[in-house]
Structure 1
Amino acid sequence: MTPDTATAPAKDPWRQRGRLPLLVGTGLLGVGAVALVVYFGYRADSARAVAVGLALGVVPLPLLGLFYWWIDRYEPEPRRYVVAAFLWGAAGAVGIALVFNELLASTFDLSDGQTATFVAPFVEETAKGLFLLATFLRARRVIGGVLDGLFYAGVVGLGFAFIENILYYSASYLGGPELGLGGAQGATATFAIRGLLSPFAHPLFTASLGLAIGLAVLQRSWWARVPLVLGGWAGSMLLHGLWNGSISYAGIAGFALFYLLLVVVFAGFVTLAIVLRQRQFVVLRRSLSYVADRGWIHPAELPWLTYVGYRAQARRHARDLGGRDAAAVVRRYQALATRLAFVHDAVMLGRPGRDGVERTLAIRAEMDTLRPRLQLPPAIAPLPRPPLLGPPMLTGPPVRWS
């Protein structure tokens, strides 16, 4: 077995088709995002204003991105989908919003406050939600539950907020009679509201739809899925509309009151994400322990496949012994073990899914091909067994493993 074949991605026979169109579309979205920034500069006739907007727009991204990276660590999403989600928010959704917000405002002769309160929530949440909906319909294995839905909703929202904020910061830098401030003072004042007080707003609005799609994935009937998705979409528009309306019509006191409400809602979503991430850890430990009991993996491998710290330690150990190729083998083996755990758990719980048994056995076969080149650290003392909270072998229907 050559290093190239040993470290190649697992050949999943049930892999979602359409990888090339997704990559091409992602590239086009990247070009579109750059084009939007250039367009902002052309419309403002000021490269400096756009440069200031771009610099300020980047500031909140590392902290918010770190949170979404943290909740995605146990079962990392495909990078191509993560990049596509961000760029869809940054280019696709923003482009749609720019066209239709202005079109509807001019068609119905709406004021800025009316457009922001009644038009923008519908247009923008629909535009952002198109990525989630398309992913749900086309690649349901990518969004496999509530945490995935919240994750992708947040990434799309981050992309949208990033580009939209560049527009707002640039306009504030240029100033105007309706702003009252200009230059660095105007841009800083807008940054304080959008970049410091409410950087989570757009990810939060779209989280309602992400939550609904994550729940819809777990349903067997379309009669249950459709109302969930429509309800989540309505929730996103409602949160967005109330936020914009509080700015346009409610005054300082109304805005402060709704801001506090938004913070509470955001805290609720964050708490839910943390609980679901911890649930992933419990499922990972439980399922892999059961798999080890069946003899599919060695029990001594469990710490290096389960705990984030131990997993990183195992990759460092392999890199020290065998270089980057050995570390890549361990990384691939850990990714396969994680996938095996969640697919196996879903099968044993009888959750909806396509060819779960066959996928479980195929992933196991891929792990077997990597095992001869696997360089894990020496075995450590056995770790406590996970609590048997609804163990899959007792709660699911009988499954025949051939």
Structure 2
Amino acid sequence: MGVRRRRNVVFTALVSVVVALAAIPMLLIVVVSGAPTTVVVATVLAAVPVVPLVACFLWLDRYEPEPRGLLALGLLWGAIVACFAAIVLEGVGGAVGGFSDQATVTVLAPVVEEACKGAFLLMLLWWRRDELDGVLDGIVYAGMLGIGFAFTENILYLAAAYDGTGPEGVLGPGGTTALTQTFVVRCLVSPFAHPLFTAFLGVAAGIAVNSRSRSARTLLPLVGYVGAVLTHALWNSSTVFGYGGFVTVYALLMLPALCAIGALAVWTRAAERRMLSAALGDAAARGLLPATDIGWVVDLRARHRARAHARQLAGPAAEDAMREYQQAVIELGFLHHRYLRGTPPPDFAVRGQEYVSRIGRVRPIIAFPGQVVPTR
């Protein structure tokens, strides 16, 4: 078993064990947060924004799809580990530090919650650095962490709103009205809040991976964490100052920040196509793959067309082979780009040989729809 394989196994095992250990106490917290019917209703309502948000991040993650198992671990880490750790640490911090309710919401919660979510990204940087190829990957993983965290947090807030307890109790004595108001604010108006906060750390982690400077690779995640905490703190502060403060921060901070992160993600995905074209062109010149295949990999529509053609010719097995080939070429492109930038990972040679071997093994058994590379 190689070093890379061992590190992958260690990361997966560690995260899985931590998720499993945190699942029971977190489930108990959810169960006792309200009457059984209340918890069920709160869970259903909290799940409403989950699928659309996950779909948006998966749409962004199309050039080099991240391992679905790893994305699922990020979702579970946010929903279970980060949420449970935040509840414990905020409770202990509030008791030991003597924080008021307002200070807990505006100061302690942002610091603790972003650290708990961000821990997964830092572990990715340490153990699964090969899965972070840039800014877009960082945003996608941050999104999964934020979606998971918001899901569990929303269950607790929705249950508290209905029962008239907790922070949402300020909406009234509870009941359907308070539940509806909380659902609209948290699940319809601002479901992107937690993914947005953590995206600052995700962007920083993506930049750090490709940085040539050792100090930058160390400091950038810290800068991203500070950005996540400040944005989170401003957002939480808006809820303290009533409806006017909420609307002001939402209009002047949240929506512009969301648009900026979204635009950055879309621009990065377009830039990845240009980067992959250049890196794979150089790899083809070195004889690592046929140059005529590049267009069938870097163009998303051409990629899908090639898969459909393979399926039509020889069924699902041929489509799977085409998908494997395209994935190996994409992985080689990202790795070769880092080599050309002068920031190759320590296992560059081993990983490169693995991708080249996969390309050489699969290429003879697939067929593209002609050798005229489609262009836009």
TM exceeds 0.5? yes
Kindly indicate whether residue 158 of structure 2 is the aligned counterpart of residue 172 of structure 1: no
The equivalent residue for 2:249 is: 258
Q: Which amino acid aligns with 1:125?
A: E
The equivalent residue for 2:190 is: 198
SS in structure 2 opposite 1:178?
Answer: helix
The one-character-per-residue Cα deviations of 1:105-163 (angstroms, maximum 9, x if unpaired) are 22334332221111111111111111111111222212232222222111111110011
Distance of 1:187 and 1:280 partners within structure 2 = 43
Kindly indicate whether residue 136 of structure 2 is the aligned counterpart of residue 147 of structure 1: yes
Matches of residues 64-79 of structure 1 in structure 2 within 5 Å? 64-79=53-68
User: Is residue 11–residue 128 contact of structure 2 (8 Å, CA) maintained in 1?
Assistant: no
Cα gap change, 1:143 to 1:297, in 2 (>3 Å): closer
Q: Once the 2 structures are TM-superposed, how far is the Cα of residue 285 of structure 1 from its aligned partner?
A: 2.3
Kindly indicate whether residue 154 of structure 2 is the aligned counterpart of residue 162 of structure 1: no
The equivalent residue for 1:349 is: 341
Distance of 1:20 and 1:34 partners within structure 2 = 22
Distance of 1:292 and 1:39 partners within structure 2 = 55
Q: Once the 2 structures are TM-superposed, how far is the Cα of residue 185 of structure 1 from its aligned partner?
A: 2.0
The equivalent residue for 1:19 is: 9
Q: 309-318 vs 338-347, which deviates more?
A: 309-318
Which of residues 287, 290, 304 in structure 2 aligns to 1:298? Answer: 290
Cα gap change, 1:139 to 1:119, in 2 (>3 Å): same
Q: Which amino acid aligns with 1:296?
A: L
Q: Across the two proteins, how many residue pairs are aligned to each other?
A: 372
Kindly indicate whether residue 19 of structure 2 is the aligned counterpart of residue 29 of structure 1: yes
Distance of 1:245 and 1:382 partners within structure 2 = 51
Distance of 1:35 and 1:367 partners within structure 2 = 46
Which of residues 289, 314, 324 in structure 1 aligns to 2:281? Answer: 289
Q: Once the 2 structures are TM-superposed, how far is the Cα of residue 376 of structure 1 from its aligned partner?
A: 2.7
Distance of 1:76 and 1:304 partners within structure 2 = 16
SS in structure 2 opposite 1:230?
Answer: helix
Q: Once the 2 structures are TM-superposed, how far is the Cα of residue 12 of structure 1 from its aligned partner?
A: 8.4
The equivalent residue for 1:39 is: 29
Which of residues 370, 373, 376 in structure 2 aligns to 1:378? Answer: 370
Distance of 1:333 and 1:94 partners within structure 2 = 39
The equivalent residue for 2:88 is: 99
The equivalent residue for 2:218 is: 226
User: Is residue 330–residue 374 contact of structure 1 (8 Å, CA) maintained in 2?
Assistant: yes
| RMSD (CA atoms) | 2.4
User: Is residue 18–residue 81 contact of structure 2 (8 Å, CA) maintained in 1?
Assistant: no
User: Is residue 219–residue 352 contact of structure 1 (8 Å, CA) maintained in 2?
Assistant: no
Q: Once the 2 structures are TM-superposed, how far is the Cα of residue 86 of structure 1 from its aligned partner?
A: 0.8
Q: Note the residue ranges of structure 2 that are not aligned, 5 or more in a row.
A: none
TM-score normalised by the chain length of structure 2: 0.91
Distance of 1:355 and 1:40 partners within structure 2 = 43
Kindly indicate whether residue 308 of structure 2 is the aligned counterpart of residue 319 of structure 1: no
Which of residues 51, 59, 67 in structure 2 aligns to 1:62? Answer: 51
Q: Once the 2 structures are TM-superposed, how far is the Cα of residue 332 of structure 1 from its aligned partner?
A: 0.6
Cα gap change, 1:192 to 1:298, in 2 (>3 Å): same
Q: Which amino acid aligns with 1:328?
A: D
Kindly indicate whether residue 233 of structure 2 is the aligned counterpart of residue 241 of structure 1: yes
Cα gap change, 1:24 to 1:133, in 2 (>3 Å): closer
Q: Which amino acid aligns with 1:56?
A: L
SS in structure 2 opposite 1:82?
Answer: helix
Cα gap change, 1:265 to 1:102, in 2 (>3 Å): same
The one-character-per-residue Cα deviations of 1:304-355 (angstroms, maximum 9, x if unpaired) are 2222222222222222332222221111101001011111122122224224
Which of residues 29, 52, 55 in structure 1 aligns to 2:41? Answer: 52
User: Is residue 302–residue 374 contact of structure 2 (8 Å, CA) maintained in 1?
Assistant: no
Q: Once the 2 structures are TM-superposed, how far is the Cα of residue 294 of structure 1 from its aligned partner?
A: 4.3
Distance of 2:338 and 2:227 partners within structure 1 = 29
User: Is residue 30–residue 87 contact of structure 1 (8 Å, CA) maintained in 2?
Assistant: no
What percent identity do the matched residue pairs reach?
Answer: 37
Distance of 1:135 and 1:253 partners within structure 2 = 39
Q: 199-208 vs 169-178, which deviates more?
A: 169-178
Distance of 2:297 and 2:207 partners within structure 1 = 27
Cα gap change, 1:154 to 1:186, in 2 (>3 Å): same
* Higher helix content, 1 or 2: 2
Kindly indicate whether residue 265 of structure 2 is the aligned counterpart of residue 273 of structure 1: yes
Q: Which amino acid aligns with 1:269?
A: I
User: Is residue 23–residue 80 contact of structure 1 (8 Å, CA) maintained in 2?
Assistant: no
Q: Once the 2 structures are TM-superposed, how far is the Cα of residue 38 of structure 1 from its aligned partner?
A: 4.5
Distance of 1:67 and 1:117 partners within structure 2 = 29
The equivalent residue for 1:363 is: 355
Kindly indicate whether residue 326 of structure 2 is the aligned counterpart of residue 334 of structure 1: yes
The one-character-per-residue Cα deviations of 1:179-235 (angstroms, maximum 9, x if unpaired) are 305233221110111111111111111111112222222223432233222222111
Q: Which amino acid aligns with 1:256?
A: V
The equivalent residue for 1:123 is: 112
